[in-house]
Homo-oligomer: A and B are copies of this chain.
Amino acid sequence: MRRKDFLQEPVKHIKINGKLSVDQLIQQFSNAGSFGAGRLSTACDIYERMIRDRKCTVFLALAGAMVPAGMRSLITDLIREQLIDVIVSTGANMVHDAIEALGGHHYKGHWAVDDYLLYKYHIYRIYDIFVPEEDFTRLDYRLAEIYDEIASKCTGRTLSSKEFAWELGKRLDDPDSILRAAYETRVPIFLPAVRDSEFGFIHWLHASREKCQNPLTVDAFKDVPEIVEICKQSPKNGMIVIGGGVPRNTVQSAALASKKGMDYAVIITMDRPETGGLSGSTLAETVSWGKVKGGADKVMVFADAIIIFPIIVASVIERLGEEFRREPYLKREKIETAIGGV
């Protein structure tokens, strides 16, 4: 590169002259193009391109307490609007979705409280959110019944985590529920660590009842070929990763195992690479594995996802406009054929 190639485009300073729409602000960030503002505007561009690319399947990897914190409707809407095609989540996010579907709530609280008092009051804290124990208890008993029902229907058959998620969604009567919306629209939800959540303890409750003859069995490995198959059948794949952990790793591994490599990648995280954990690993590192293509359209935003993801969605929805209707490449029926339905 010659010297002048480095000095092509001056930073244009952000101007806020009055009321701005979210995407107008993002355009200002794009003009500036630096630090987090540059990364965020790039993330919006990439998500827009994923959606407009008719050959791309969009994966959402979901870690962190995003559903308790207020992202439930947003994800449900993205599913129903077909702006997300596959979800890989922690169990906990779906547990909290089910809590609300069964009439429970998450309450605005505070991070500086007497946690021992909360303990005595049977209130659980998630940073600045409070959840009353009774909402978990209601969940436990209702879901244990649902497990009974699923088990009696599926006797002798083991489920994948995706089938399990759809079976739950089928039985949650709440249009705002992520699980319900995914079931209705045939968007696969994978829960690769389903055991590590209240779903695990509900299983125990269910399995240890006297009347339970054949407890529901979720096969830990059964969803591996399912998610890999999706990557394989899609000409292109894109991922939006919220947080890290198992959901990020599962999506990336599917891209690796299918020998496709992601074509688009947006990662929102506060983790950093130097301690070597996957959650903070760079997109460059994923290229060495083949999880993300060397030439992929990709960016990491180092920020709190509960701020950033809604901004990205708002910016992209504004760009797409009211009339935009997306037709996913992998039609929902096709997914069902490939990897099975409920």
Contacts and interface: CB of A to CB of B under 8 A. Distances in A.
A48 interface: no
24 contacts: A1-B117, A7-B130, A11-B129, A12-B70, A34-B68, A34-B128, A35-B65, A35-B128, A36-B274, A36-B303, A64-B277, A115-B284, A125-B288, A125-B289, A127-B274, A127-B285, A158-B219, A193-B193, A194-B220, A204-B224, A204-B225, A245-B245, A270-B275, A303-B303
A108 B11 contact: yes
Contacts of A263: none
A340 interface: no
Contacts of A117: 1
A228 interface: yes
B123 A288 contact: yes
A38 B108 CA distance: 9
A294 B120 CA distance: 10
Given A15-B77, A116-B294, 7 more contacts: A13-B176, A31-B70, A34-B69, A40-B307, A192-B196, A194-B221, A245-B246
A168 B76 CA distance: 41
Contacts of A220: 161, 194-195, 218-220
Given A220-B161, A303-B303, A310-B25, A257 B69 contact: no
The residue among A28, A32, A287 with the most chain B CB atoms within 10 A of its own CB is: A32
Which interface class (under 10, 10 to 19, 20 to 34, 35 or more) fits A? 35 or more
Interface in A291-310: 294, 302-308, 310
Interface string A194-206: 1111011101100
Contact of A115 (B7, B107, B287, B304): B287
Interface in A195-233: 195-197, 199-201, 203-204, 207-208, 217-221, 223-225, 228
